[in-house]
Amino acid sequence: MSTRRAAILIAAPFALLYASLFIGRFAVPPLEVGRILLAHVAALPHTWPDSLETIVVQIRLPRAVMALFLGAGLSASGAAYQGMFRNPLVSPDILGVTAASGFGAAVALLLSSGALELQVISFAFGVLGVSLTYLLARVYRTTPVLMLVLSGVVVAAFFSAMLSAVKYIADPESKLPAITYWLLGSLNGVSTQSLVMALPPIVIGGAGLLLLRYRLNVLAMGEEDARALGVRTERVKGAIIVCTTLITAAAVSVCGIVGWVGLVIPHLCRMIVGPDHRVLIPASISIGATYLLFIDDVARTATAGEIPLGILTAIIGAPVFAFLLRRTRGTWQ
């Protein structure tokens, strides 16, 4: 990858992050945003209203940072899974983490839990769902890829059914609308506390995938070839599953179910930087972060009422994915 292209990929998320702080229904001058941010690291005279600082620092900044990390994590997870399973149609929810986390969040909303409890319960159920998938797929101390996929289908179907049961018994006047809206995906309720809870697992999982990106190249050749080259495939697959589960469960626990990001962005990145995971994973992190932050900016500014993220990612993701399929003629390597 050229130096110019690398510089663009590095700068794009940060440029959009800054732009997101002054874009909104209540416009804030860009220079004023810069002064407000600098005032937290340097001694600058306080010449702006307190309301502006509240909008920039307490409302827009946590939301924009969360969108960056969620987009980066989901895209990197999708790229890692597509390489591990050697399947271009794989997304981060292949092992049932999304369905399990959604069920946990629905239970928390049904019990009128607070935001912190909702995140914890949703995250815990996401980890539980993937753990069940992994245990079901174990065959004589190995986890064949086909068994992982089939076990993921079983676990996802089970938790989807349980989610439907929760929605069926929920109060249609208050609980059911809250559950339905949350499942559509939104960053409306993100706060500094949400960042403290969600960022550590996303950062740990993302760092793990960056460290494993060299092994992913070998694993994508096939398990037999990888073993012949001395790669301990079971350990690598287990580490990838742990990293992607941390990221996806944390993402769902914060913003609900946001699809298509982990499926479409890795394909787009392969067209730009190629299939080498040493470059593909960092590129997915950059482009995924920029993409989801852009989608969130559209979601909160396009109409008078906020549009759920899941709707926008599906509306944009499906046609883009269809275009990529036609452009690549079904080849993804």
Domains of the chain: 13-21+28-38+60-328 (1.10.3470.10)
- The set of residues, in sequence order, having a beta carbon less than 8 Å from that of 331 and lying 6+ positions away, is none
Predicted local confidence at residue 333, as pLDDT? 52
CA 271 distance to own-chain centroid: 21
Strand partners, 142: 139
Mean pLDDT of the chain: 90
* Residue 139 backbone phi and psi in degrees, to 5: -135, 110
The pLDDT of residue 153 is above 80: yes
The pLDDT of residue 317 is above 60: yes
Residue 326 burial (CB count, 10 A): 9
By the 8 A CB rule, do 83 and 270 touch?
no
For 56-74, write each residue's pLDDT tens digit: 999 999 999 999 999 999 9
Predicted local confidence at residue 111, as pLDDT? 92
Q: Over pLDDT 90: what percentage of the chain?
A: 61
Indicate the burial class of 29 (C-beta count within 10 angstroms; 0-12, 13-18, 19 or more): exposed
By the 8 A CB rule, do 106 and 161 touch?
no
pTM of the model: 0.93
330: left (phi over 0), alpha (psi -120 to 50) or beta: left
CA 73 distance to own-chain centroid: 5
Average pLDDT over residues 20-26: 88
For 216-254, write each residue's pLDDT tens digit: 988 888 778 888 878 888 899 999 999 999 999 999 999
